[in-house]
């Protein structure tokens, strides 16, 4: 079983004359060196790429939310891009009430040692939905769940979009939204009342309880709820 | 008293004749020399075959390194399915950050990955400084490198000690924690706190190092490799250690990249991705150090990678100590840096600056920045968005342990229940960072 892996060196796809990576210095606020992938994206997708911004040396590509999965799949698979590492999925809501909510993907290309930020803007009033990138990046699993948990953004195609940091019965909404007050939506007494009223059985998700033969040992009322397909969450 | 020599048979399971670690499959060799899979022993209670059991590890369990809860579906002792539950430590760091000035957020960064507090301070300050467009002084850069590497040493030592305890060895824990105490004493002399350091400010550090501190650091750099050697001698070729770690939780290079692993986790899988080398910061490209890479992607390789990183961190510390330049630590910009206290109480302008920096806070231009550093756990990123006010619109932590832990169902499924503990330990999680 001496199946040793071939060591993968980042920067392997760079041209031989490429300079070694160095600490960025004296970055301009706007309009620094643009990541070449931004130009390639504009060429490939045209209208789906709305704007390219360079802030503090980091390139941001604003794309149409509907084509997010298509764009990111191309970035991953195209041999000239090879963005094979998804660092982060998150969202930004601005303080101005009418500013759109942004979904942000931070992508890295290890072979080219590039960094690219992809953003999709969802105007207020429209359903908060984008395609999940879970089919191509498994790292998106929990990151998208967290983003859903905190902002309420639904990732279409995610296999298990449940709350992750808040508990599944959490009813106060989405904590990182700007209309969510810092102290929580409910008063302390209401929070305490809900905590005391919690059902200890609900500490397992319904899905987990049905897998075990412990099912027969459950209280009658719970078995009925499980059979009727009720979920503990939401 | 006559000297007594004990012959030790080295070629136990997991070691070859030269005493090197050997990968042992769950198979045997038949007479022709080809491998055959070992058949499962006959079931003692046939009526129980196929019955699955639900078992709950945590949230309060010493081997879950905090308050992680794993729901495991077991077939006998084999894990069929693993469902992690988290959030027990969630306290809304990112939400609170939106109501704080940048220098006030530094205190929050101590408390997320609390084994790497000063490293987080450095990472956060770097992110904020890119947002402000600040270039820090040379002395500050070197001091931050020293801080980051010291904190990497602390974090890896805690990982080493607790993993040893999880797997059943107690002595290395004591050796590791002795050395960790020395680093904490150094930090205490520098910033006045051991765990919650809050050592950085936007544009500089809270304090310069006191006189005589460098001698103590040099003494530590000299004495520390001795402990690594001791732990190395005790564990690396230890048959029990090798038997408990080899071949567990394997991630291939493609899987590791796709699951977004970082730090020692991805490097043990054979991807030489180190933020310090590939996306450098703090002039790391000018330091001479190696990136250890594993080739098997199992728990044992993660251990080897972290052991070597301890040595490499000592190398970087040595170089940083040799090159530490004189000069100011903080930048000369009264809009972000507090004036000296003596001036603030005697000069009108300094007092106004002091008042403005404390009451209004430094204000960055409109923009955003994502700065990632190589924390002991992996790629730690701070993403900040500013709308021109003194408080960020969004402060996002990219937690390396969170993404690393998301691969645990993939890693434990098919292994034994007791191996879940070893695999979970090898991820090096800190729940404070995962739940935030």
Per DSSP (E only), the strands in A93-186 are 101-109, 114-122, 129-131, 154-156
Q: Which residues pair with B371 in a beta bridge?
A: B382
Q: What is the pLDDT along chain B (436 residues), one digit of tens a residue?
A: 344 443 333 334 445 555 554 444 445 556 666 656 565 556 666 666 667 777 888 788 877 788 888 888 887 788 888 888 888 888 889 999 999 999 999 999 999 889 999 999 999 999 999 999 899 999 999 999 999 999 999 999 999 999 999 888 888 999 999 999 999 999 999 999 888 999 999 989 988 999 999 999 999 999 999 999 999 888 888 888 888 888 888 888 998 999 999 999 999 998 989 999 899 999 999 999 989 998 888 888 899 999 999 999 999 999 999 999 998 999 988 888 888 888 888 989 889 989 988 898 899 999 999 999 999 999 999 999 999 899 999 999 999 999 999 999 988 888 888 889 999 999 988 888 998 8
Across the interface, do A21 and B260 touch by the CB < 8 Å criterion? Answer: no
Residue A111 tokens, joined = 């072979």
> What pLDDT shows up at residue B21?
46
Residues 158-197 of B with CB under 8 A from A: none
Residue A173 tokens, joined = 């909404």
Cβ contacts of A213 on chain B, cutoff 8 Å: 51-53
Confidence of residue A161 (pLDDT cuts 50, 70, 90): confident
> Locate tokens 């190092």: which residue?
B209
> What pLDDT shows up at residue B11?
35
Nearest by CB to B383, from A23, A26, A90: name it: A90
Q: Which residues pair with B128 in a beta bridge?
A: none
Across the interface, do B86 and A165 touch by the CB < 8 Å criterion? Answer: yes
Cβ contacts of B281 on chain A, cutoff 8 Å: 23
* Structural domains of chain B, ranges and CATH numbers in brackets: 93-331+368-401 (1.10.645.10)
Which H or E element spans position B419?
A: helix B417-427
Which H or E element spans position B323?
A: helix B299-323
Residue A181 tokens, joined = 């007050």
ipTM comes to: 0.84
Q: Are B187 and B193 in contact (CB under 8 A)?
A: yes
Among left, alpha and beta (phi > 0; psi -120 to 50; other), residue B50 is: left
Architecture per CATH, domain A36-162, reads as 2-Layer Sandwich (3.30)
CB atoms within 10 A of CB A92: 20
Across the interface, do B133 and A205 touch by the CB < 8 Å criterion? Answer: no
> What pLDDT shows up at residue B78?
82
Across the interface, do A110 and B271 touch by the CB < 8 Å criterion? Answer: yes
Residues 225-264 of B with CB under 8 A from A: 247, 252-253, 255, 257-261
Interface-testing mutation among A29, A85, A216, with chain B (most B C-beta atoms within 10 A): A85
Q: Are B382 and B371 in contact (CB under 8 A)?
A: yes
> What pLDDT shows up at residue B48?
65
Across the interface, do A8 and B296 touch by the CB < 8 Å criterion? Answer: no
Across the interface, do A5 and B81 touch by the CB < 8 Å criterion? Answer: no
- B413 touches A at CB < 8 Å: no
**Chain B nearest CA to A70, separation (Å):** 17
> Is the predicted pLDDT of residue A227 greater than 90, yes or no?
no
CB atoms within 10 A of CB A120: 25
> What pLDDT shows up at residue A185?
83
> Locate tokens 């060591």: which residue?
A7
> What pLDDT shows up at residue B81?
83
Cα–Cα distances in Å, from B32 out to A2, A109, B16, B37, B388? 19, 47, 20, 14, 74
């Amino acid at each position: 079983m001496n199946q040793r892996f071939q060591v993968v060196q980042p920067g392997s796809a760079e041209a031989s004359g490429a300079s070694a990576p160095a600490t960025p210095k004296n970055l301009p606020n706007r309009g620094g060196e643009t990541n070449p992938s931004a130009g390639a994206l504009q060429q490939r997708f045209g209208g789906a790429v709305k704007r390219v911004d360079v802030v503090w040396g980091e390139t941001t590509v604003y794309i149409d939310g509907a084509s997010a999965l298509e764009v990111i799949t191309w970035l991953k698979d195209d041999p000239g891009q090879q963005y094979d590492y998804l660092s982060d999925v998150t969202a930004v809501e601005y303080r101005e009430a009418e500013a759109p909510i942004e979904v942000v993907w931070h992508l890295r290309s290890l072979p080219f040692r590039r960094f690219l930020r992809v953003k999709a803007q969802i105007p207020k009033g429209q359903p908060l939905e984008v395609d999940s990138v879970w089919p191509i990046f498994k790292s998106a699993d929990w990151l998208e769940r967290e983003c859903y948990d905190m902002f309420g953004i639904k990732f279409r195609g995610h296999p298990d979009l449940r709350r992750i940091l808040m508990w599944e019965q959490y009813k106060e909404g989405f904590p990182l939204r700007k209309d969510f007050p810092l102290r929580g939506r409910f008063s302390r007494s209401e929070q305490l009342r809900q905590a005391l009223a919690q059902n200890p059985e609900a500490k397992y998700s319904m899905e987990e309880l049905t897998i075990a033969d412990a099912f027969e040992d459950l209280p009658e009322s719970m078995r009925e709820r499980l059979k009727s397909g009720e979920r503990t969450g939401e | 008293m006559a000297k007594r020599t004990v012959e030790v048979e080295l070629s136990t399971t997991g070691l070859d004749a030269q005493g090197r670690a050997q990968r042992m499959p769950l198979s045997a060799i038949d007479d022709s020399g080809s491998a055959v899979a070992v058949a499962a022993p006959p079931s003692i209670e046939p009526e129980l075959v196929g019955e699955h059991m639900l078992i709950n590890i945590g949230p309060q369990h010493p081997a879950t390194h905090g308050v992680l809860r794993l729901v495991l579906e077991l077939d006998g002792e084999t894990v069929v399915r693993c469902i992690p539950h988290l959030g027990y430590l969630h306290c809304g760091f990112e939400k609170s950050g939106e109501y704080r000035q940048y220098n006030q957020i530094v205190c929050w960064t101590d408390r997320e990955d609390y084994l790497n507090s000063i490293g987080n301070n450095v990472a956060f300050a770097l992110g904020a400084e890119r947002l402000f467009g600040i270039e820090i002084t040379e002395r500050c850069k070197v001091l931050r490198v020293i801080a980051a590497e010291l904190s990497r040493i602390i974090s890896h030592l805690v990982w080493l000690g607790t993993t040893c305890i999880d797997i059943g060895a107690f002595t290395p824990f004591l050796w590791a924690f002795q050395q960790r105490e020395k680093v904490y004493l150094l930090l205490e002399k520098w910033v006045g706190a051991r765990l919650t350091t809050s050592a950085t400010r936007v544009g500089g550090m809270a304090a310069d190092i006191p006189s005589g501190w460098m001698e103590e650091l040099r003494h530590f750099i000299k004495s520390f490799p001795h402990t690594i050697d001791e732990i190395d001698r005790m564990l690396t070729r230890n048959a029990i250690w090798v038997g408990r770690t080899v071949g567990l939780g394997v991630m291939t290079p493609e899987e590791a990249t796709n699951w977004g692993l970082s730090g020692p986790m991805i490097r043990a899988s054979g991807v030489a991705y180190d933020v310090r080398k590939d996306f450098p910061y703090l002039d790391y490209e000018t330091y001479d150090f190696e990136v250890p890479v594993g080739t098997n992607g199992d728990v044992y390789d993660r251990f080897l990678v972290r052991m070597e990183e301890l040595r490499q961190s000592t190398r970087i510390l040595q170089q940083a100590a040799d090159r530490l330049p004189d000069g100011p630590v903080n930048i000369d910009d009264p809009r972000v840096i507090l004036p000296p206290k003596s001036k603030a109480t005697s000069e009108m302008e300094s007092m106004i600056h002091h008042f403005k920096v404390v009451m209004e806070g430094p204000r960055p231009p409109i923009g955003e920045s994502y700065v990632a550093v190589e924390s002991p756990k992996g790629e730690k990123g701070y993403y900040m968005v500013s709308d021109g006010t003194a408080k960020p619109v969004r402060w996002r932590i990219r937690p390396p342990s969170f993404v690393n832990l998301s691969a645990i169902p993939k890693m434990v499924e098919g292994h034994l229940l007791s191996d879940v503990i070893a695999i979970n330990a090898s991820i090096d999680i800190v729940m404070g960072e995962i739940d935030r």
